[in-house]
Chains A and B, each alone.
Chain A
């Protein structure tokens, strides 16, 4: 069974996100930023970073994940569209927090892709193709 790790600071909101993501048929685990290290030895298929993490913490968790689980895609839940430009290289997909339908769609897409193909490389993000427009397309 596939597993999604959700990281955020509001337990109640995280629970409701986990309920939405359980529709992917994957198991879900919720953690605060301080609990992520506990799961280091565990295997995941998708990491979801909640907008309740402050930006610095979100980047720190994403960097830890890239190191610990380099093949695992990261889906960032954002409160505002502009945030994607700040954390662009730390995510494979973005979704706005107010759109559970899109959250489910993006998570399903990432879970269905083979792990290596689901990852965008940093060079992808820095290439001319990853300009503002293509970044904006993450949210569509």
Chain B
């Protein structure tokens, strides 16, 4: 992956971009959760997806840090 000028991302930047993209995906799910607030089954599905994404964020952070997450 590279930036807008075509330069390759450094591993640190790539890590941050991945985390930011995951957080944006969480934001999209949060929007859908609010929109479907009265449909418990659908909300539950979004919550499950959000948990999966958070697990992925945790794994990303863990892979870049010596601190246990």
- Interface membership of B1, Cβ < 8 A: yes
CB-CB under 8 A from A13, the residues of chain B are 21-22, 24-25, 28
Contacting pair B28 A16 (CB below 8 A): yes
A139 within 8 A of B: no
Contact yes or no, A19 B32, CB < 8 A: yes
What's the Cα separation between A16 and B1 when bound, in Å? 20
Instruction: Let me know if A19 and B28 touch, CB within 8 A.
Output: yes
B41 part of interface (Cβ distance < 8 Å): no
A23-B35, A100-B31, A101-B31 are contacts. A16–B3 as well, Cβ < 8 Å?
A: no
Please give me the 5 A-B residue pairs with the lowest Cβ-Cβ distance, nearest first: A16-B28, A16-B25, A100-B31, A55-B4, A10-B21
What B residues does A100 contact at CB under 8 A? 27-28, 31-32
Per-position contact with A for B19-38: 1 when CB-CB < 8 Å, else 0? 00110111111011001000
Q: Would you call B2 and A54 a contact (CB within 8 A)?
A: yes
New A-B pairs, 16, CB < 8 Å, besides A19-B28, A23-B32 = A10-B21, A10-B25, A12-B25, A13-B21, A13-B25, A16-B25, A16-B26, A17-B28, A20-B28, A23-B35, A54-B1, A54-B3, A54-B4, A97-B24, A98-B24, A100-B27
Please state if B22 and A12 are interface contacts (CB–CB under 8 Å).
yes
Q: How far is the CA of A96 from the CA of B20 in the complex (A)?
A: 14
Interface size band for A: 10 to 19
B6 at interface (Cβ–Cβ under 8 A)? yes
B21 in complex: contacting residue of A19, A52, A101, CB < 8 Å: A52
> Does B10 make an interface contact (CB < 8 A)?
no
Q: How far is the CB of B4 from chain A (nearest CB, A)?
A: 4
CA gap between A41 and B21 in the complex, in Å = 30
